[in-house]
Structure 1
Amino acid sequence: MRLLAAIATGLALLGAVPVPTAKAPEPSASTSPAPSAPSAVTWGVAPSSATEPNGRAAFGYKLDPGATLTDHVAVTNHSTRPLTLNLYASDAFTTAQGGFDLLAGGRQPTDVGAWVRLTRSALTIPSTSRLVVPFTLTVPTNATPGDHAGGIVASLAATAADAQGNQVAVDHRVGARIYLRVTGELQPALVVEELRVRHTGSRNPVVGGTLTATFTVRNTGNVRLTGRPTLGVAGPFGLGRRTVDTPALPEILPGGELTTTVRMTGVPPLVRLSASAAVTPDAVGDQVLDPPPAVDTAQVAVWAVPWPQLALLTLVALVGWALVAARRRRARQTARALAAAREEGRTQASQEAGRTSDGQDATVPATTGVDPRVGSGGQATPDLPTPDATA
């Protein structure tokens, strides 16, 4: 079964840059990548005078509400065969990645794309030839002040097979940008929304982790702007405060938004971090913003538990406890050994004293049979006369 679908490819809207023959145009944000354009087919769209392209990178105007002007667009066929192209104007928008794109071919414009009237909507251009088409741009009397962006597109309809083998209609587009500023009060402003931050610890406990912040920058004013994002982080009581600047954002159209991601490395895990994302609005091109727009900031708190550091401290504590326990165990073993040695020494001393006492008793000479008359000096005591019992 043939599946008919209109797939709008991306636009070469950096001026009048033709799509290279060997490459498929960049897909728009809302569609899948389209098959390549037919081989050997290349064309370009550029601002022009009444006769030929005049070197302008885009259609740029500054008009009052209700004003009308006439200009020209040149469509060039660089191919070696004729081309039949559709020519129309549409509104621009900022993609989520910060690209400049136009509404799909089937969507009706409501802004500057609706204010453009082309004298021709279909072109058949001979090989290696150019057609210059006039158009008028009429600003409504109730147009809002500020910047309005769109483009003029030359598209080639073709069919191709998708990944499932279905036949799809493919719209290859090349265009030139339109930048219109309607006079009136300008209100440039960028805001930071949907800030999401996470901290990823490092396996190396000595170094810090990575702080990743993703946030949306929305243009809430009426002037197309770029901006310079800044990511800041600090721990409790302002410890470890750091900031990092990033390259400027792409152009953001009024009402548009884009999502950006900023990373900061070497962030210490101080348990509870305060992260802030700020964006400083800047003018696009040679615009002058006077006074400068305010800087918008969003702030969130994020947990940064130092798991590697805690693991290291736990390991150090366990090693210290093991060393202290081993020292105490050795001390107890030494004390027990000393006590046992003392006890053994006392036991041996007691046994030795007992053996010594038993030997002295065995060698003392006997004293029986000694003449009692012999004194201690070895002399005999003289016999004393026996008293007379009758005296």
Structure 2
Amino acid sequence: MLTLGVLLGFAGPAAADAGPTVGIAAAPAKQGQPDGRSRFSLLVQPGQKVGDELLVLNAGSTDQRLHVYATDAFDTADGAFALLDGSATPAGAGTWVRFDAGARDTVLTLAAGAQALVPFTVTVPATATPGDHAAGVVVSVASSAGQVTVDRRLATRLYVRVRGTVQPSLTVRSVTAAQPVGGDPFSAPTTITAVVANTGDVALTARATANLRTWFGRPVGTAGSRDVAELLPGATRTLTFDVGRVARAGYLEPQLTLVPVADADAYGFALPPVVGRGTSVAVPWLLLGVALAASAGLGVVVLRRRRAAVLEATPGSAGVAEPQEAARETAAVKPTPTPQTAAGGRS
């Protein structure tokens, strides 16, 4: 996989250790000179054939054998514009590019400091769908570094924009808010994560704004706005925003607003904002633990009191045995009446 930077243009030699240097440079050109473009951007009709030129320079200190070819482009997970590996077979716009005599690639040998103009054509199939088709024109040079062969590659972006009715579309597939377990229930670090997809047929950038609400729509935090790097048609991107510290309110509603932007040089339309919302649980774990512990303690106290009440109310229990025993002892010592002698009786 070859990952491209934001700008691929005419450059000096690559850094090298002591000894011969190896360096390549390339840029879009007209009439044998760089024309200031950083990429190829072609606006064409289905079935149309157009031509362009790439100026290639051997920026090293020795003769170099340069391999020039085209291949398909795609977006990496972190948003970089990338090309297929040299061993992979393209299936999209990379197959529309032809060099001398209709060849898929071309090879040239340049002396140190020499340059060459490489013309090529792009033939768009009649069945090509409207919208953006991305590829790259690659210049590759192989050199030896000890027992290892190093393949240095430099690529220039190629956008083939096919005319027709286009359907630009960005979609927010999911939005979630997350807080770490434990910690301060009134102030927890909070992040918003959103998954965005280009479900249309036009390459788009966007301005993204993330914010957070809780019960009854009350705002509790915002992550501000930032630019989203270009998404090619079919690409998916995961965005993460730091909201700051937010109370664990039990319920959070994250929201992401996207303002899509198409290439102004190719498309003159403005696109409406896209809004995505989600729901997340923000459990105040510390308060919940305290409440559970207090409930457990209260439950133990209530249970003990109930048991004591049951024992007091049960007949024959240890609590009523002593009065019954005392009654028996009193009855056992009750005095017996003595017969009285009548007055004047015998003594």
CA contact (8 A) 1:201 1:269 kept: no
Q: Which runs of 4+ in 1 moved over 6 A?
A: 310-315
Aligned to 2:133: 148
Deviations 1:96-147 (A, max 9, x none): 1111111111112222211110126111111001010111111111111011
Alignment partner of 1:157 is 2:150:
no
Q: Distance in 1 between matches of 2:12 and 2:86?
A: 18
Instruction: Please state whether the residue corresponding to 2:191 is helix, strand or coil.
Output: strand
Q: Distance in 1 between matches of 2:272 and 2:29?
A: 35
1:1-391 aligned within 5 A: 8-11=1-4, 14-18=7-11, 21-22=14-15, 40-119=21-100, 121-158=106-143, 169-200=149-180, 203=183, 208-286=187-265, 288=267, 290=269, 292-299=271-278, 301-307=279-285
Q: Distance in 2 between matches of 1:10 and 1:99?
A: 7
CA positional deviation for 1:242: 4.0
Deviations 1:268-296 (A, max 9, x none): 21012222333221223545553524514
Number of aligned residue pairs: 291
Stretches of structure 1 that go unaligned for 5 or more consecutive residues are: 1-7, 24-35, 162-166, 318-391
CA contact (8 A) 1:222 1:254 kept: yes
Q: Distance in 1 between matches of 2:205 and 2:41?
A: 18
CA positional deviation for 1:238: 2.4
Q: Distance in 2 between matches of 1:314 and 1:21?
A: 65
Instruction: Please state whether the residue corresponding to 2:142 is helix, strand or coil.
Output: strand
Instruction: Please state whether the residue corresponding to 1:114 is helix, strand or coil.
Output: helix
CA contact (8 A) 1:228 1:246 kept: yes
Instruction: Please state whether the residue corresponding to 1:10 is helix, strand or coil.
Output: strand
Aligned pair in 2 of structure 1 residues 289, 230: CA closer, same or farther (>3 Å)?
farther
One-letter amino acid of the structure 2 residue matched with residue 22 of structure 1: A
CA positional deviation for 1:266: 2.6
CA contact (8 A) 2:20 2:61 kept: no
Q: Cα RMSD between the aligned structures?
A: 3.1
Aligned pair in 2 of structure 1 residues 215, 19: CA closer, same or farther (>3 Å)?
farther
One-letter amino acid of the structure 2 residue matched with residue 123 of structure 1: L
Higher strand content, 1 or 2: 2
One-letter amino acid of the structure 1 residue matched with residue 168 of structure 2: P
Q: Distance in 1 between matches of 2:244 and 2:290?
A: 21
One-letter amino acid of the structure 1 residue matched with residue 37 of structure 2: R
CA positional deviation for 1:196: 4.2
Deviations 1:31-66 (A, max 9, x none): xxxxx9x96211111111232222222111111111
Q: Distance in 2 between matches of 1:85 and 1:71?
A: 19
Instruction: Please state whether the residue corresponding to 1:254 is helix, strand or coil.
Output: coil
Aligned pair in 2 of structure 1 residues 63, 213: CA closer, same or farther (>3 Å)?
same
Q: Distance in 2 between matches of 1:137 and 1:114?
A: 9
Aligned pair in 2 of structure 1 residues 159, 260: CA closer, same or farther (>3 Å)?
farther
CA positional deviation for 1:248: 0.9
Q: Distance in 2 between matches of 1:170 and 1:293?
A: 47
Aligned to 2:322: none
Instruction: Please state whether the residue corresponding to 1:255 is helix, strand or coil.
Output: coil
TM-score (normalizing by structure 2): 0.74
CA positional deviation for 1:75: 0.6
Aligned pair in 2 of structure 1 residues 244, 288: CA closer, same or farther (>3 Å)?
farther
Instruction: Please state whether the residue corresponding to 1:249 is helix, strand or coil.
Output: strand
CA positional deviation for 1:201: 6.8
CA positional deviation for 1:218: 1.1
Instruction: Please state whether the residue corresponding to 2:36 is helix, strand or coil.
Output: coil
CA positional deviation for 1:308: 5.0
Q: Distance in 1 between matches of 2:95 and 2:161?
A: 15
CA contact (8 A) 1:22 1:39 kept: no
Aligned pair in 2 of structure 1 residues 305, 159: CA closer, same or farther (>3 Å)?
farther
CA contact (8 A) 1:116 1:138 kept: yes
CA contact (8 A) 2:5 2:80 kept: no
Aligned to 1:26: none
Deviations 1:316-369 (A, max 9, x none): x9xxxxxxxxxxxxxxxxxxxxxxxxxxxxxxxxxxxxxxxxxxxxxxxxxxxx
